[in-house]
Structure formats: structure tokens, C-alpha cells
């Protein structure tokens, strides 16, 4: 993929280098001229185990380039990472000026290029909620490009940043709304235990049907059965959260996917919330109870050192 990373500080440089090392063409944009010169001279301005070697190797091969020219860097980009600083101000709020400036430069560059293909802007900087919406509106007004703005908040640990970036121990995906559902399943099917995503649906079973529909929206030729197999092997547990009539949100069902029977994905409810009524204050009352099914994943949890008492699944006890 053609990737641009705006801001080659700690986060941006690690991201750019790691992406280049797995075969993407990456252009890092850096405005600080001293830092840029260091990078263009092939030196790493920060110390992070393994980073300098990886950076030099990919810089030498041309897989990784550095510039201060946003326009040319964004010209062919399919993905643009925003990794500029968002330092705290004296009053405790976040200084968004670098991100706003970088976002505006990306908007202008995309508008000027007049591209009409899909560009994904990935915000890695730490930002207040609502930032992506503002950025999206700015991009939508200015460019013909089909843009998506997504969050990929950074959880970098200094000292192990390169290893963590190249070997993430889990994948946490925000809400899937469209054909990206297939990418999500494929990512979840690559051995990242604990992957998590959100989908809007009325029931756990509906959630699976919605995922199928979203994949189909991508006009994929994937046969129905293969699609269902992907779903049943990627997803172990569906946790349904419901907004109740009193406005509160509660977990109302925990269901386990158990496999496939013929062309049908099989699943079983493990815990369900039963509404019993309303309190005098108008709050929903109810109880969460086990259905009596001990989930298949109980053994896996046990093997991972999470010892859940078998009685909690027996259905005889009311749970809180």
C-alpha cells in the first residue's frame, strides 16, 4: 500500500518504519528541519531497540522516504496516518493546533490532487472525541476523494515499540458498518486471541446476519458457506449490550458460537438478562442468569489460567 505518515516523532517514526519493513511504500513527512535532516542523513533521532537498523535498511532500499512536502507525500497515498503532537496546554486542555494544521494540509493536498479513489485518514495522535468527525467534514467539503477517517490510538511502550508494533497481541476494532467486515474477520482469523469489534444488531444471531450482509455489500464472490465458516471461526463470543427503556445500557445476552451444522452457524446463549419490571423511580429491574450451558470456551479460559467456577454456568444461581 502507499502510505503517508505525517509527523515523524516517536509514534510516527516507529509506525512508518514498521509499515515499510512489511512491504508498504511509506513517505514520512516531518516539519522540524533539524529532525528531517537527521532522518534524510539516514540517522534515527530517537533510541528505540531495533528501530535504527530497521529504519536504515528500509531508507536505503527506498521503501521509506522522508520529506517536508505534504502535497507530494499525499499525492498517491491510499492511507494517511496523522502522528503529530497534541501536548497538554497550561489549562489542562489539549493543544490541537498541530493536528488541525496537519489535517488542513492533508485536506488541501487531496483537494488539489483531485483524486477520486478511496483515502483512509488514520488518526494516531491522542485527540478528544469529535475530532474525527470535524476532520471528516473538512475533507468531505473539499475533496472528491472518497475519504474515511478512523482512529488508531497509540499505546506505544517506549523500549519495546518496534516489537509491539510488529507483533500486536490483540486487535481491537471499532464499529464495523460496511464491507470492511470481511477485512475484520480475516484479521481476527490470524491468531490474535482477544480480538474485539462492535456491530449494531438486535440480537446476537442478527449480528451474524448483519456481518454477512456487510460482507455481501462488498460484492465479494465469497460463497455463502465460506463466508459463514469465516464468521464461525473468527468469532467465539457475542456480547449484546442493549439500551433499555430507562436509558441505561446493560449487557443482556452473552452467546457463544459453537461451530457449524451444515450451512448454519450454531450458537448458544450462556447468560441472559431477564427484565422483571420497573422500580418506583422508573428504573428497569431484572436479573442476569445463566442458561445452564457451560460454554465450550470454558476449557480454553481454564488453560489460559482464568478459572471460572463451573457453578456460575449451572443456571441455579442468580448472578449480579
Ligand X SMILES: NC(=O)c1ccc[n+]([C@@H]2O[C@H](COP(=O)([O-])OP(=O)(O)OC[C@H]3O[C@@H](n4cnc5c(N)ncnc54)[C@H](O)[C@@H]3O)[C@@H](O)[C@H]2O)c1
Beta carbon nearer to ligand X, 156 or 312: 156
CA distance 103 to 142: 12
Q: Is 18 in the site for ligand X (CB under 6 A)?
A: no
Task: Please identify which residue in 156, 216, 272, 297 interacts with ligand X, judged by CB under 6 A.
Answer: 156
Count of residues of this chain found to bind ligand X when the rule CB under 6 A is applied: 26
Provide, rounded to whole angstroms, the least separation between the CB of residue 254 and ligand X: 32
User: Considering the rule CB under 6 A, would residue 125 count as an interface residue with ligand X?
Assistant: yes
Phi-psi region of 7 (alpha: psi -120 to 50; beta: other; left: phi over 0): left
Residue 71 is placed in which grid cell?
A: 502535497
Strand 172-175 versus strand 284-290 pairing type? unpaired
CB nearer to ligand X: pick between 139 and 270: 139
Q: Using the rule CB under 6 A, which residue among 2, 32, 179, 206 binds ligand X?
A: 32
| HSE-up of residue 129 (Cα within 13 Å, Cβ side) | 0
What's the closest the beta carbon of residue 11 comes to ligand X, in angstroms?
Answer: 4
58-117: contacts with ligand X (CB under 6 A): 83-86, 98, 101-102, 105
Single residue of 27, 35, 228, 294 touching ligand X by CB under 6 A: 35
Give the residue closest to ligand X by C-beta. 9
String of b and e for 86-124 (b: at least 16 CB within 10 Å)? Answer: beeeeeeeeebebbbebbebbbbbbbebebeeebbbbbb
Give 160 or 316: the residue with its C-beta nearer to ligand X.
160
Among 3, 11, 107, 290, binds ligand X (CB under 6 A): 11
Asked if 154 interacts with ligand X (CB under 6 A), we say yes
In the bound complex, what is the minimum distance in angstroms from residue 44's beta carbon to ligand X? 13
- Smallest separation (angstroms) from ligand X to the CB of 205: 38
Q: Please identify which residue in 29, 73, 147, 181 interacts with ligand X, judged by CB under 6 A.
A: 29
| Out of 53, 69, 95, 158, the residue judged to bind ligand X by CB under 6 A | 158
Q: Compute the distance between CA of residue 125 and CA of residue 142 in angstroms, rounded to an integer.
A: 23
User: Shortest gap between Cβ of 132 and ligand X (angstroms)?
Assistant: 14
> What would the grid cell of residue 293 be?
450451558
What is the x/- site pattern for ligand X, positions 163-182, by CB under 6 A? --------------------
Cβ neighbours around 199 below 10 Å, total: 18
Determine if 6 is a binding residue for ligand X (CB under 6 A): yes
Nearest approach, Cβ of 10 to ligand X (angstroms)? 4
Shortest distance in whole angstroms from residue 58 CB to ligand X: 18
Q: What are phi and psi of 135, to 5 degrees?
A: -65, -40
- Selected from 56, 126, 152, 189, the binder of ligand X by CB under 6 A is 126
Site residues (vs ligand X, CB under 6 A): 6-12, 29-32, 35, 83-86, 98, 101-102, 105, 124-126, 154, 156, 158
Amino acid at each position: 500500500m502507499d502510505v503517508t505518515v505525517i509527523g515523524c516523532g516517536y509514534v510516527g517514526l516507529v509506525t512508518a518504519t514498521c509499515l515499510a519493513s512489511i512491504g508498504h511504500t511509506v513517505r514520512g513527512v516531518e516539519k522540524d528541519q533539524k529532525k528531517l535532516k537527521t532522518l534524510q542523513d539516514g540517522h534515527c533521532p530517537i533510541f528505540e531497540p531495533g528501530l535504527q537498523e530497521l529504519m536504515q535498511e528500509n531508507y536505503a532500499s527506498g521503501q521509506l522516504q522522508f520529506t517536508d512536502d505534504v502535497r507530494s507525500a499525499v499525492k498517491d497515498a491510499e492511507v494517511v496516518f496523522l502522528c503529530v503532537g497534541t501536548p497538554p496546554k497550561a489549562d489542562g486542555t489539549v493543544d490541537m493546533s498541530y493536528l488541525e494544521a496537519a489535517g488542513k494540509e492533508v485536506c488541501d493536498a487531496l483537494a488539489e490532487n483531485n483524486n477520486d479513489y478511496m483515502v483512509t485518514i488514520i488518526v494516531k495522535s491522542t485527540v478528544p472525541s469529535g475530532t474525527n468527525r470535524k476532520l471528516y467534514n473538512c475533507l468531505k467539503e473539499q475533496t472528491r476523494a472518497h475519504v474515511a477517517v478512523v482512529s488508531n490510538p497509540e499505546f506505544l511502550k517506549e523500549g519495546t515499540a518496534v516489537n509491539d508494533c510488529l507483533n500486536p497481541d490483540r486487535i481491537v476494532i471499532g464499529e464495523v458498518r460496511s464491507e470492511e467486515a470481511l477485512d475484520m474477520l480475516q484479521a481476527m482469523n490470524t491468531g490474535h486471541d482477544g480480538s474485539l469489534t462492535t456491530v449494531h444488531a438486535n440480537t446476537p444471531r442478527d449480528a451474524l446476519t448483519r456481518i454477512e450482509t456487510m460482507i455481501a455489500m462488498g460484492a465479494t464472490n465469497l460463497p455463502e458457506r465460506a463466508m459463514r465458516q469465516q464468521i464461525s471461526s473468527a468469532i467465539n463470543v457475542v456480547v449484546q449490550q442493549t439500551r433499555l427503556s430507562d436509558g441505561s445500557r446493560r449487557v443482556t445476552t452473552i452467546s457463544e458460537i459453537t461451530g457449524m451444522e451444515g450451512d448454519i452457524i450454531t450458537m448458544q446463549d450462556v447468560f441472559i438478562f431477564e427484565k422483571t419490571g420497573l422500580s418506583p423511580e422508573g428504573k428497569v429491574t431484572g436479573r442476569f442468569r445463566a442458561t445452564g450451558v457451560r460454554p465450550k470456551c470454558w476449557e480454553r479460559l481454564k488453560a489460559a489460567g482464568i478459572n471460572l467456577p463451573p457453578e456460575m454456568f449451572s443456571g441455579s444461581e442468580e448472578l449480579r
